[in-house]
Chains A and B, each alone.
Chain A
Amino acid sequence: MAELSVIGASHRTAPVEVREGLAMAPDQVARILAAMHAEKTFDEALVVSTCNRTEIYFVPRAADDPLGYFLGHVARVKGARPAAGADIFYRHDDADAVRHLFRVAASLDSQIVGEHEILGQIKQAYRLAVEAHTTSALLNKLMHWAFRVGKRVRSETDLGAGSASVAAAAVDLARHIFSSLEGKTVLLVGAGQTAETAARALLAAGADRLIVANRTLYRAQQLAYDLAHETIGRPATDRAATDRAATARERPGREPVADAVGLEAIPEAIARASLVITATDAEEPVLTWPNLSDVLRTRRSPLLIIDIAVPRDVDERLGRLDNVYLSNIDDLSRLVERNLGRRRLEVPKAEAIVACEVADFGRWLASRQAAPTIRLLQKHLAVIRKKQIERYGKQFSQADRAQLEQFTQSVCKQILHSPLAMLKQLAADGTPSERLAAVDLVRRLFDLDAIDDEPPAEPPSRPPAEPPS
């Protein structure tokens, strides 16, 4: 039986409609883990669930059909059995499972290679597992190792460099113009999904004022309220009581953090903005030369206009004005494609790091087998016995020294009896997690890692893991 396995489905094996049926919120994952802990089906278990993958890492114990068992729990917490055939699930065991986790943590298995969210998502999955008490020696060590691999790949390669989405590219361009987005105003023209995502990214990057301009004022007010609420993060007032007036949210003594205006108010709004994102369905430009050239000519500070609409919303003559920087969807796509190309060049370097870390983890795991630990423990005590005899043996006669040898050998055997019996019994009957925990305890008690001829790549295991901060 494998010591560690992973079963899951990801964007590589399942279409989005199937992944939707498997994706779980953190509270649902916590409920599954709590049930698994109670049922003791797995020795250890951890569930990673994102929009692109749902996986369970486990140290098997009793489950004959771990996939069916897991899907049963998913169906229970989601209220419906996922429409997923067994063919979309992959399973990796032992070293392959370790390699899979390390590749996921390094963002090599992500839909957008090098994306930054996955490591945080894995940390959250680990936190949930620790809170549910479904991790022990093996997964604790493995997950901390995976976090380190993720960080190492990020710091030693350019796998995560550059923006990889239109929204991130917008932030990227803004950061080439503004030293900080703090205090900057974003004008969002239109209420399309892509523009909304880009505006959300700019607000998340620090911009703290938003003006939404739309043909329908009500929709603008609604979007301004929602974006201000979720991104700027001030406590919401009673939404039903909010009349969605032009000022969606206000800070005491400061100008509103989110306004909504009609399209006719764009000239006034653009004078206050540092960044403009446009994405309307209009057939003709919305930001026109006659309307805006005078306002923009007198600007002293830079203005970044990102035109995501097709057909374009912005008269391109405006982009030739001093202090105005205009980018359309093709410009952003070129930037994204260039960055993704660079990331792809970094993949071999990242894969080499993962391979190296998998080998190191394998060596560490091998050192945690019972047999080498028993040999090491016997050797350790033999060395201690020999040293003590050399130190004190001269005080004994030749005849007594033979008896001293016998006596010390006997003492050592007695000392070793219980730990060796425990290790042998766990090697024969125990679960991998129990064996690992016992070996770890013995190695720490006798400080065996310090005298191991072939020390593991990783220092002795940390104390029982704590949730990552």
Chain B
Amino acid sequence: MADLLAIGNWVLPLLYLALLADYGATFFLRTRTGARSPWLVVAVAAHLAFLVLRGVHVGYPPVANAREIASILALATAGVYAWVELASRDRRTGVFVVLLAFLFQYTSSMLLAGRAAEPAEIAPGAVGMWARLHVVPALVAYTALAFAGVYGLLYLLEHRGLRRHRFGVLFDRLPPLEVLDPMAWHALLTGFVAMTVAIAAGPLLLRAEGGEMTAKVLSKIIAGSAAWVVCAVAVLGRWLGRWPASRTSAIAVVGFLVVMALLIVSGLLS
């Protein structure tokens, strides 16, 4: 089992790298833009199997620290994108999302190198019911925000191309605004709802586990709150203020970058 997990730890980033090449070919060569990729489903299934096996082997759900969470984020990103691709039948944006999944998984595999079969140090309060109610929605929210950031960026690139009449190589390959806008919008909505749940469960988790307000916990609270504010501002602005898609997309992109920076700081503190 230990050998299998060690191999799996390195096979997963390679699998995502191969997918990245496949989606890169679709994007740059404009081939098979509408075809759904069976390899994406294979990668997601393999990743899920790896996490289940590792969870069984180490005796706890592998969401106990930043290293393991990075892998979960990779799986969530790939899994959510697989669903989006299945629904939209358009794989032109896959290269950007798979790039994210690859980076998450590569980071996780690097940090777990040589220790894939060993239990990692469990962060305080990382297991238990409140933990699940907090961690799972938080991961969904961060993944959704990543999606919103990616699709928001693509929207802005195309919007800018149309406004300034700069029709470059990238412009030719982007899906229409009417496809990108709902993707970013639904991701923001998902992020808003999920982060609201995560934030509501956070204090209960802290109290249940008797945890202290350390610098690490504080940085997580700041990152989570920032993500919630980003999603809330964009969602409410669009609902109540009738903001245009370009503005909510810009907020999603900036918000994603800020939250990523805060999460990295949080990771360094852990």
Among B157-165, B227-235, B254-262, which stretch is in contact with chain A? B157-165
Using a CB-CB cutoff of 8 Å, which residues 137-166 of chain B contact chain A? Answer: 158, 161-163, 165
Q: Does A417 contact B (CB under 8 A)?
A: no
Contact assessment for B177 and A162 in the assembled complex, using a CB-CB cutoff below 8 Å: no
Contact assessment for A179 and B162 in the assembled complex, using a CB-CB cutoff below 8 Å: no
With beta carbons under 8 angstroms apart, the residue of A173, A334, A338 that contacts B162 is A173
With beta carbons under 8 angstroms apart, the residue of A179, A300, A327 that contacts B165 is A327
Least Cβ–Cβ distance between B15 and chain A, in angstroms: 29
Interface 1/0s, chain A 297-332, versus B by CB < 8 A? 010101000000000000000010011010100010
Q: A173-B162, A325-B162, A334-B165 are in contact. Are A178 and B176 (CB under 8 A)?
A: yes
Contact assessment for A325 and B242 in the assembled complex, using a CB-CB cutoff below 8 Å: no
With beta carbons under 8 angstroms apart, the residue of A177, A319, A322 that contacts B244 is A322
Q: Does A176 contact B (CB under 8 A)?
A: yes
Q: How far is the CA of A1 from the CA of B174 in the complex (A)?
A: 55
Contact assessment for A177 and B162 in the assembled complex, using a CB-CB cutoff below 8 Å: yes
Q: A162-B172, A325-B163, A327-B165 are in contact. Are A302 and B177 (CB under 8 A)?
A: yes
A175, closest chain B residue (CB): B176
B31, closest chain A residue (CB): A155
Least Cβ–Cβ distance between B159 and chain A, in angstroms: 8
Chain B contact residues (Cβ within 8 angstroms of A): what range?
Answer: 10 to 19
Q: A173-B162, A176-B162, A338-B167 are in contact. Are A323 and B244 (CB under 8 A)?
A: yes
B247, closest chain A residue (CB): A322
Q: How far is the CA of A322 from the CA of B238 in the complex (A)?
A: 13
Interface 1/0s, chain A 173-198, versus B by CB < 8 A? 10111110000000000000000000
A330, closest chain B residue (CB): B165
Main secondary structure of the interface of B (DSSP, over half): helix
Question: How many of chain A's residues have a CB under 8 angstroms from any CB in B?
Answer: 19
Interface 1/0s, chain B 163-184, versus A by CB < 8 A? 1010100011011111100000
Contact partners of A177 in chain B: CB under 8 A:
162, 176-178
Using a CB-CB cutoff of 8 Å, which residues 76-129 of chain B contact chain A? Answer: none
Q: How far is the CA of A159 from the CA of B172 in the complex (A)?
A: 15
Q: Does A374 contact B (CB under 8 A)?
A: no
Least Cβ–Cβ distance between B72 and chain A, in angstroms: 32
Least Cβ–Cβ distance between B39 and chain A, in angstroms: 23
Q: How far is the CA of A300 from the CA of B238 in the complex (A)?
A: 10
Least Cβ–Cβ distance between A414 and chain B, in angstroms: 57
Q: How far is the CA of A437 from the CA of B175 in the complex (A)?
A: 51
Q: Does A335 contact B (CB under 8 A)?
A: yes
Q: A327-B165, A334-B165 are in contact. Are A179 and B244 (CB under 8 A)?
A: no
A-B contact pairs, 13 of them (CB 8 A): A173-B162, A176-B162, A176-B171, A176-B176, A176-B177, A178-B178, A179-B179, A300-B242, A302-B178, A322-B244, A322-B247, A325-B163, A335-B165
What is B's interface to A at a CB cutoff of 8 Å? 158, 161-163, 165, 167, 171-172, 174-179, 242, 244-247
